[in-house]
Amino acid sequence: MKRFISNNISIIGPFIGLIIFSIILGIMSDSFFTLDNLLNLLRQISINALIAFGMTFVILTAGIDLSVGSILALGSALTAGLLTSGMDPVLAVLIGLLIGLALGAINGLIITKGKVAPFIATLATMTIYRGITLVYTEGRPITGLSDSFAFEMIGKGYIFGIPFPVILMLIAFAILYFILKKTVLGRQVYAIGGNEEASILSGIKADRVKIWVYSITGMLSVLAGIILTSRLNSAQPTAGASFELDAIAAVVIGGTSLAGGKGKIVGTLVGALIIGVIDNGLNLLNVSSFYQQIVKGAIILLAVLLDRRSK
């Protein structure tokens, strides 16, 4: 038990916070603890959570990815384009995911081979990818996508009463959890964030690992984008704007260190849940969205301050 606590100390704080927020909202609003609302909440967070999972990997290597929102928009727009041209939806989605992988790999290549700081590299590609999206869509939403069951399923479907986006999020979580916890790649991600020079001198191909990490993040961003596109049945050129901030917030609230090398993906899931609970709860309580931003910012600050204190 003691061992369990010391191993998970960084997550226990956010987890307790999540429970407290939930209890408060449960008392204040009768509709919070209804099954419908909870499933709705999970579906709402799935998009942010998917992006934040990728961001966790990036931040663990002591990097940052500001371009996730733009990758989401570009990947969604291109996928939507393929769909309107009549391509099989499953194939279109797979191609969309590969595009995300490639856009992320470009980030990784600029950062490793070009030796550009991740913040600057992804700030640049954030703008470039967004620009390409606007050029491609001519600034207008792409609509009339597909009425195929498979495509509708992604954003709007249910399996055994559980929203399909939630299932996608849980599958992605399970795979990424396994990678971080049990594989060589996961170990290398932590090592690079802990001390990149020592990792290279221990035989780790740090460049290759980082390119993978940014690629995975790109792919997860497009997956989130496809869910969004399916729900709206249209691809918006401005989709995903400022999503990077919510993703980074979820990672940080979840106790992952921006300095790299320390953190857990479970924490990110909890972080995304906390953000979701706040959004959802404040909506139920009819709090103006202007105030919601203040509350959200304050909670990010609180999470980080509490984390400092426990160290």
DSSP string, 61-124: TT---S-HHHHHHHHHHHHHHHHHTT--HHHHHHHHHHHHHHHHHHHHHHHHTS---HHHHHHH
Does 200 participate in binding another protein (rule CB under 8 A)? yes
107 to 146, contacts with another protein by CB under 8 A? none
Does 188 participate in binding another protein (rule CB under 8 A)? yes
Instruction: Please identify, among the stretches 131-139, 143-151, 201-209, 224-232, the one whose residues bind another protein according to the rule CB under 8 A.
Output: 201-209
Counting Cα atoms < 13 Å in the Cβ hemisphere of 261 gives 9
226 to 285, contacts with another protein by CB under 8 A? 261-262
**Which secondary-structure segment (H or E) carries 196?**
helix 196-201
| Residue 234 CA from chain centroid, whole number | 21
Q: Distance (Å, rounded) from C-alpha 269 to C-alpha 217?
A: 15
Q: Distance (Å, rounded) from C-alpha 296 to C-alpha 282?
A: 10
Cβ 251 to another protein shortest distance, Å? 18
- Burial class (CB within 10 angstroms; exposed 0-12, middle 13-18, buried 19+) of 286: exposed
Cβ 207 to another protein shortest distance, Å? 9
- The count of chain residues that interact with another protein, using the rule CB under 8 A, is 21
Does 59 participate in binding another protein (rule CB under 8 A)? no
Counting Cα atoms < 13 Å in the Cβ hemisphere of 110 gives 21
Cβ 183 to another protein shortest distance, Å? 5
Q: Quick one: which of 114, 149, 197, 242 contacts another protein (CB under 8 A)?
A: 197
Cβ 2 to another protein shortest distance, Å? 12
DSSP state for residue 286 in the 8-state scheme: T
Judge contact between 172 and 52, C-beta under 8 A: no
Instruction: Please identify, among the stretches 118-126, 157-165, 180-188, 223-231, the one whose residues bind another protein according to the rule CB under 8 A.
Output: 180-188
Q: Quick one: which of 195, 233, 234, 292 contacts another protein (CB under 8 A)?
A: 195
Backbone Cα Rg of the chain: 19
Q: Of 202, 270, 292, which is closest to residue 19 (Cα–Cα)? A: 270
Which of residues 141 and 194 has its CB atom nearest to another protein in the complex? Answer: 194
Instruction: Please identify, among the stretches 18-26, 44-52, 149-157, 179-187, the one whose residues bind another protein according to the rule CB under 8 A.
Output: 179-187
Does 8 participate in binding another protein (rule CB under 8 A)? no
Does 156 participate in binding another protein (rule CB under 8 A)? no
Does 191 participate in binding another protein (rule CB under 8 A)? yes
| Interface ranges with another protein (CB under 8 A) | 182-185, 187-188, 190-191, 194-195, 197-205, 261-262
